[in-house]
Chain A
């Protein structure tokens, strides 16, 4: 073995690839001096940090979080905003009043979009570079020395965008290696579980991802997310504003507003959303059984939830709005906010059949997702539900989703619409009895029962190419399965995707994919193999017998992948 065994080999092992005789031109903007030697050559006080610390970076569509591996929370959380996109020395953001945003106000608050047709990748890179540099300088207090990087991001980020990010980090920040981690998996890690149903109530979309044994099994999406909610809230606020001061705007101005610009700034609207948005309790909450609309209402009148509802309906709050001209105070009824929330995430007024797949109400999205999972995976995941994303902070939303979800399960069970596998389901008494159980449930099931489940599950989820792995079989036999809660709804608290990435890097657990700078600069994304093309066993043998990747395979480059992010 090239590097020999040692306590901190997990990451260092990757360095052995670097020693491979890789030639080729460095990237266009790369200085010709080798960067690896900088740290040792300088000898200034921060050298020690540079060598040891792994920087963990989480990229969201509107947020960038940065900090050191092993920390409980990021040192910097930066939001994307138009102020960051100005020229250096343009201090207009400090000078009120702000201009009014156009109707399509979201893009300047987003680092990127999934739909790359709307994205100028070069601009993304510029923006990313500036924000990351700023975070490093002001919050992490680190300088230009190359640092290993852990990158946490959604596994649906398209390869061209990932390429742009990697190019920036390798070229502009000279990271020697970058480990990629899927945000859903790291969210599970920071909840202490190996499997989970991660419901990311994010900005661009709501994404439901089932993670089984640290692997993403399935991922479904709905456009019902923060962006939609903010637009709906704006409309409500705008009409409230008009009702309040009907004569402050002439008709002319109103038309103008509607056509070209927003009356209330993005930031102010966003602030109102974060501070005041809340969600009504589920209609099914007080009555678990199936009931008509009328009955539900009556039922609620008697329930204790009613007193709460009563307070809510009369409640208003006064919100100062500074982005209007002139500044004003807006009286917002809480009931209106709940309506906006309902319409955005659940849309109770519309028939279910009318929803497209990409605009399913959240509880249906989650239900469909679970329905399509293999039985054992579903049983495990439903007991490990994790909410993440900005909208998960909306008061009452999590409970509403879970309650509505339970209501569907009560009504329909787990019978797929097509009827496939119904028999299979019926034959499984465990799942049949459980769904209506209380969220925190009847505690861990007996080890033997859980063990059976896990056995089948791991086989089901395992990569087919490794199915007849003799070692795996042996291990499975020896394995002593811990008791696992399954088959009942349970929501777990995760410390978030960033923190999960921090833990993974700190504990030197291997990431989904680790990319080496030299290899990247030489090959780029084109060099990435399909994950399934990588023969783990062969590599293992190779590394044991020949002492490293590079020499194996008769001079061929060792395959590497972008993990869940795919290939070109």
Chain B
């Protein structure tokens, strides 16, 4: 399913359990032999367990592949991807998970914003004459990419730095953003003043007023409640919420007379308690929508970056940069660290990183007789695109296994005779069992006697397609040949069965994918665990084995 064909994906063995359960279900319905379970790369769930080799790690202690789903992560460092400053974890709690320096993204196109003076062309004498006063409100955030500026949403700044604090105080349009604290202070000064009108209660303010309302409601009675009821009732009963919050607050001791003004947690009554009635009349917004049209509305993508959904472009706010983390990874089974980055933010290196690439063979696949013209060297990274495969015509591919280990490995392959799914292509591995030599140093190799080559002379097929013979062998790699006969994509060619799925071709269903079970066996020096364990040879060699499914994406079948 990757854009570049041919390709190889590997299934992390950790998903085997769940996949197996699933397979059991379907198999029992189809009454198919359970032992012959074949991994179906086309099944929707397979997308979640297949990885390119580069994404996989390896646990040396468990001798097992580890994917992002079967590792435990720990944050090493938090940092801003824009200014690269490290953020202490204690700050995250108080200031949230975004950069509080002056790092912002454009709300329109997410490019970085810069704070600049609004009046760059003004002559310096003017500034000198007016002093600092003239500079007030003369900075704004600018987008270098799309030319958006915060003055478009009516927001300007006194200073070019400390944007975060300045921005927090203004609404779009430049109006002062009222805080809960200010309301409280005002109330103290002027107890008789009516509560602020509904339209001034923005989401932040509603939340903070609501929160403090609930807190005061619960405050008096908290001790009694937690002391007695929450322990027992909070756990289970659906009625618990209602009973505690209404009937039991303040009545830890039934006979006791209530104290304080109200013993019931009541509802909020005014804007200062977080109650906001909705102004249903949206005719102004409708008028605005119709006059300004599509271009002035904010897109879904833009809104996903905003904390509050805005209908129009002028409601969008600059996006403070989301912090990032560097993480170390542990094997979820044995807890050993298998990946640990360097702490420094600027460094991209790792202290520890056990990548699967250094432990399991790298499998590559290419056509035996490529028909696509070779890509000119000037555009090398591009891969030659093979034409789509003719149905029912045999094709041959060379599959190469490169051994990264310093021990030779024995590889056993198993593929189903026909690919699973609606369109069954025929698959034959000409040589399903072979040995790949160790990844020894090249000079070591040259110094070794060449008797080994003679010993294996009979196993190579000398350019002939011959069953049981490998295609080619190198220092630490072996190629074999794979024969496929692509199925026809015609729906009426399917065998008539009880429930034939005649639905149209799904995405990538025309890609010929071959599930292949790879088992590798080798003998390694058992350096650890001096105490003799079972399965160990006398000379300190230890038999090891690793098996997993992989998927070979061969090519697209021609639509006939």
Contacts and interface: CB of A to CB of B under 8 A. Distances in A.
B132 interface: no
Interface in A464-498: 466, 470-472, 474-476, 478-484, 490-493, 495
A215 B242 contact: yes
A476 B251 CA distance: 11
Interface stretch (B289-297, B359-367, B427-435): B289-297
A21 interface: no
Contact of B269 (A8, A215, A482, A490): A482
Contacts of B218: 507, 509
A192 B231 contact: no
A213 B241 CA distance: 9
Interface stretch (B40-48, B396-404, B463-471): B40-48
B262 A396 contact: no
Interface in B238-261: 238-248, 251, 254, 257-258, 261
B234 A439 contact: no
Contact of B335 (A33, A476, A479): A33
B352 interface: no
B3 A95 contact: yes
A44 B77 CA distance: 10
A395 interface: yes
B262 A536 contact: no
B51 A88 contact: yes
Contacts of B68: 88, 133
A466 B248 CA distance: 14
A9 B206 contact: no
Contact of A395 (B201, B210, B289): B289
A559 B236 contact: yes
A398 B280 contact: yes
Contact of A483 (B241, B269, B276): B269
B523 to A, nearest CB: 29
Given A192-B274, A491-B280, A493-B276, A561 B88 contact: no
Contacts of B208: 72
A336 interface: no
B273 A192 contact: yes
Given A7-B226, A79-B304, A87-B1, A507 B215 contact: yes
A398 B278 contact: yes
A13 B230 contact: yes
A561 B237 contact: yes
A270 B97 CA distance: 30
Central interface residue in B71, B198, B230, by most chain A CB within 10 Å: B230
Interface string A414-449: 000000000000000000000000011000100000
Interface stretch (B13-21, B119-127, B446-454): B13-21
Contacts of A315: 290-291
Contact of A48 (B89, B285, B286, B287): B89
Interface string A386-397: 010000010110
A503 B268 CA distance: 14
B267 A396 contact: no
Interface in B157-211: 198, 201, 203-204, 206-208, 210-211
Interface stretch (A286-294, A348-356, A365-373, A510-518): A510-518
A111 B201 CA distance: 34
A549 to B, nearest CB: 7
A495 B207 contact: yes
Contacts of B73: 137, 143-144
A360 interface: no
Contacts of A483: 269
A278 B97 CA distance: 35
A481 B55 CA distance: 62
Nearest to B505: A260
B2 to A, nearest CB: 5
A85 B17 CA distance: 20
Interface stretch (A119-127, A201-209, A233-241, A246-254): A119-127
Contacts of A33: 333, 335
A543 B231 contact: yes
A270 B309 contact: no
A499 interface: yes
B7 to A, nearest CB: 9
Between B1, B48, B93, the greatest number of chain A beta carbons within 10 A of the residue's beta carbon is seen for B48
A194 B246 contact: yes
B232 A482 contact: no
Interface residues of B, number: 124
B263 interface: yes
A85 B335 CA distance: 29
Contact of A193 (B267, B278, B281): B267
B204 A474 contact: no
A286 to B, nearest CB: 13
B246 A458 contact: yes
A463 interface: yes
A87 B56 CA distance: 13
A236 to B, nearest CB: 16
Given A393-B309, A534-B236, A46 B203 contact: no
Given A7-B226, A531-B237, A122 B278 contact: no
A113 interface: no
Given A139-B97, A439-B280, A495-B210, A482 B262 contact: yes
Given A190-B210, A275-B298, A317-B294, A540 B232 contact: yes
A509 B245 contact: yes
Given A495-B203, A536-B243, A561-B236, A44 B227 contact: no
Nearest to B3: A92
Contact of B286 (A46, A79, A395): A395
Contacts of A480: 258, 261-264
B111 interface: no
Contacts of B300: 267, 270-271, 274-275
Nearest to B18: A122
B308 interface: yes
A475 B251 contact: yes
B151 interface: no
Interface string B1-13: 1110000010000
A492 B275 contact: yes
A89 B280 contact: no
A474 B247 CA distance: 9
B232 A44 contact: no
B56 to A, nearest CB: 10
Contacts of A130: 48
A75 interface: yes
A75 B210 contact: no
A72 B179 CA distance: 14
Contacts of A462: 239
B283 interface: yes
A220 B171 CA distance: 39
A31 interface: yes
B294 A275 contact: yes
Contacts of B243: 466, 472, 536
Interface in A115-151: 120, 122-123, 125-127, 129-130, 133, 137-145
- Interface core residue of A143, A276, A312 (most chain B CB under 10 Å): A143
Interface in A30-46: 31-33, 38, 42, 44-46
Nearest 6 pairs between A and B by C-beta? A192-B268, A510-B234, A45-B89, A72-B207, A317-B293, A5-B227
18 contacts: A17-B235, A46-B75, A46-B89, A87-B50, A88-B50, A143-B73, A144-B72, A144-B73, A193-B275, A194-B245, A334-B290, A439-B280, A493-B206, A507-B214, A529-B236, A539-B235, A543-B231, A563-B238
